[in-house]
Chain A
Amino acid sequence: MELLFAIIAGVLFAAGLYLMLRRSILKLVMGLVLIGHSANITIFTAGGLTRARSAIIAPDATTLPAGSADPLPQALILTAIVISFGVLAFAIVLVSRAWQEVGNDDTDQFAETDR
């Protein structure tokens, strides 16, 4: 299972990187999304995959039952998702404004500030 998730993370990262290297700013944003997902899956996998035991303490207990999932990676991913949601919303607004301003989604048209 870990292997499968590791491969998925790698494929997502590669696909994201590929999209970011294209010349379209829209694909750039999509690439950012995919790379973000890849990071989340990496945390998920690195935190240890366990099945069928959710991390909820029973009403009469004080600790988690043995073998239950580690809640911390889930909390980290949740936070990361919330952040990437905000960043993505901003990136979309930015790209749409840039498209209006430049009238083109070719990244080669955005090189003026590099000179």
Chain B
Amino acid sequence: MNSIILRTATRFTLPLLLLFAIVVLLQGHNKPGGGFIGGLIAAAAFSLHALAFDPAETRRVIRIDLRTLIGAGLVTALVSGFIPMVQGKTFMTGVWTKVPVAMGEPLKVGTPLLFDLGVFMVVVGITLLMVLTLLEPEEKTD
């Protein structure tokens, strides 16, 4: 698609959408949101980019290879399950710790967040892999 309006708009909305995706990812534990939805929003943002420019350009913007992203996400999610086992708890039990922050209350960080982060990466990777494959005229085999 070759539309200057869409391209210009995408340049502005892409960072905003990605920011929104991260907000949704982070608020997921207590409010509506989470890794899956955040990942979908991020994937939608990149899909918009792929429509406005072209899939090759989008792959360049993402920088990380999507396959690596999926793998890293899976590993992250699995690691979050193993962390409680170090403390002798069952697989996937939520473990929380407080991280002191310069201003305000200490931040509660836990393994569910890590799990969500992994889900986020997997969802972005798989969704984009499918969308970009469909958008690209000839399938890439390697």
Contact = CB atoms under 8 A, between A and B. Distances in A.
Which of the four size classes fits the interface of chain A?
A: under 10
A89 B133 contact: no
Given A92-B134, A93-B130, 9 more contacts: A82-B36, A86-B126, A89-B126, A89-B127, A89-B130, A90-B130, A93-B133, A93-B134, A96-B134
Contacts of A90: 130
Interface string B15-29: 000000000000000
Interface string A68-97: 000000000000001000100110110010
Contacts of A89: 126-127, 130
B36 to A, nearest CB: 6
Interface in A83-115: 86, 89-90, 92-93, 96
A57 to B, nearest CB: 12
A96 B127 CA distance: 16
A62 to B, nearest CB: 17
Contacts of A96: 134
B50 to A, nearest CB: 15
B30 to A, nearest CB: 10
Contacts of B127: 89
Nearest to A92: B134
Contacts of B126: 86, 89
B119 to A, nearest CB: 10
Contacts of B130: 89-90, 93
B74 to A, nearest CB: 14
A79 to B, nearest CB: 10
11 contacts: A82-B36, A86-B126, A89-B126, A89-B127, A89-B130, A90-B130, A92-B134, A93-B130, A93-B133, A93-B134, A96-B134
